[in-house]
Structure 1
């Protein structure tokens, strides 16, 4: 559950369940909030699951488990995946080297099973794994003025440079860690992490101090990330092979063996996965799972769709057969409606999403 239920309620929030946690869906007028983030800056409380990994062998242990190279330097982070033996994504995560411990941010429902699995695999290694979800609050700050917003309220450090690097400082006399985001909303972005008991002060600081910022909920986050062409775990990534959804930023093909690597490497060496994630425009907003057709043949399905506040029209992400070409239709309310593949991102903002789907021949 959000650690700021009363604060969100005072702002008129409507809630929903996300991965077993209660989070803010919206505060009303979500299109207006979306536009505020695209023009200036906004912030959202995110419901991550959090795992701490300590012990002398912590970096080696996690590095052997995930798809990307875990940084050995304090102040650096990486985006990575856990894969099953068939090479399919069981979760995505951010791993941050915080000195004497690693902090691992996961989808909320994945923290406990991952921690339990890892704790059972430490054997003789000096590693301790704990779930720390309730100890932290996490806020995303996004928009073309996000850097100015952070600079206006962060004390004791400069805004971090580079993808997933972070600094430690304070906001309103509260200790915080500020991480440079990887552009998931298509705008400059930062993640602000604080202890749960400091969350209310940090929320107030982000909203009202320095440069004001508008709070937003997950509904706006989903429309922002869709416009940016960012695949999300719940809708695009879970159960897929990484090469299919194009998340090459989560893979280090030169590192040692990890679960599922052989399958992913085979796809990479072949140069072409079976399917690809594309952007679609359509005559109306299709539902998730709506079938996509080329002529009379079903070639894929929609993963997520919105009526884009910025483009003022329906947009969607869809997984389709890799070699699909020509005119497409998508099934909407039982009828075949014209759809077109378009280049991603749908909207170009102040940054580009590091998860923008890319493929070997692109």
Structure 2
């Protein structure tokens, strides 16, 4: 019975003359035996049902339900118990900053024939919040990602932001194959900025695989420095993965023509204040906030650290990729090219 049912029962029992239990049951749409059991559970004599209180009866019913649930689960081994192989896999995933949902889906991929290695992401959340202690709980917090990376200020802090870039080609001219992510090799780029606009890290994201590459910019983020770092990084890729680059209209891309000449990659520019036109890159910048907090000196992170962070991001299962990882998707493309 619901609290509303119990409140109506209390009101009917208070009427004078008091209706019979059979009449009350009919009015509530219940069996007479249900009303009798309800009164007995509430400590009221069905033959003289005086003193029935709906609120008290509701509390008793809830307490009884909790006790029954605990009894049913008593002695049953936890699906996700500390020390088990499943627990170890979950903890390993959390240490790599995978979310519970990513972990749950990857377990099915990595252990397809082992039903003992199945767990829902809800169970992971519940078990870790109840059982987790200290650093383990912190790992859960890290895996529950939210927020955005510090973006480049849109005002005077970024000199020349609104100055028109010479030779700029608008995103509307980008080929359709880049728009629908059907063909790999189309990239999105941006900078995340450190404290006081003094340091930066460049981010490159491949649109079809979500593969990430990070640019080390130890001496600043002028157009020349960004061009040199991008050229060096992008030329590590085979030609079929170097088709286009999309960026916003930041002054750091003033040397886009030199970049295109050196790499053969055309550059397309987003409309002003339209970050959704680089959705993959915006999402990646949000993930990078876990590693590079706001208002910190980003120049302290050397190339090795950036490569490790990129590898960790590329090792995360992605829902948009059918729970494959960006690294797996890119390696598949590279292997296909080698076979061809």
TM-score (norm 1): 0.23
Larger % of strand: which? 1
Q: Which has the higher contact order (CA 8 A, sep 6+)?
A: 1
TM-score (norm 2): 0.24
